A = this chain, B = another copy of it.
Amino acid sequence: MKYFKSDNTAAVSREILQAIDRANSGVALAYGADRWSESLDRAFGDFFGKEVRVFAVASGTAANALALATFCPPWGTVLTHAEAHIERDECGAPEFFTGGAKLSLVGGAGAKISPADLTARLAWFEPHVHGVQPRMLSLTQATERGAIYTPQETGALAKIAHEHGMAVHVDGARFANALVAQDVDAADLTWKAGVDVLSFGVIKNGGMNAEAVVFFDPTRVADFEFRRKRAGQLLCKGRYAAVQLLAYLESGMWKRNAERANGLAKRVAAAAPQWLSEPSATNQVFMKLGRERIAALSKEFGFYPWGPAGSGEARFVCSWDTPDEDVDALCAALGKLK
- Chain A positions within 8 Å of B, measured between CB atoms, are 3, 5-6, 8-12, 17, 20-21, 24-31, 57-63, 65-66, 73-75, 77, 88-93, 95-96, 98-103, 105, 120, 123-124, 126, 129-133, 203-204, 208-209, 223, 225-237, 240-241, 308-310
Contacts and interface: CB of A to CB of B under 8 A. Distances in A.
Report whether over half of chain A's contact residues are helix, strand or loop; otherwise say mixed.
loop
Tell me the number of copies of this protein. 4
Contacts of A65: 232
B8 A96 contact: no
A98 B58 CA distance: 21
B132 A92 contact: yes
Nearest to A126: B309
Contacts of A66: 232
B100 A226 contact: no
Contacts of A229: 61, 75, 90-91, 93, 129-130
A9 B24 contact: no
A234 B203 CA distance: 13
Contact of A75 (B6, B10, B92): B92
A320 to B, nearest CB: 12
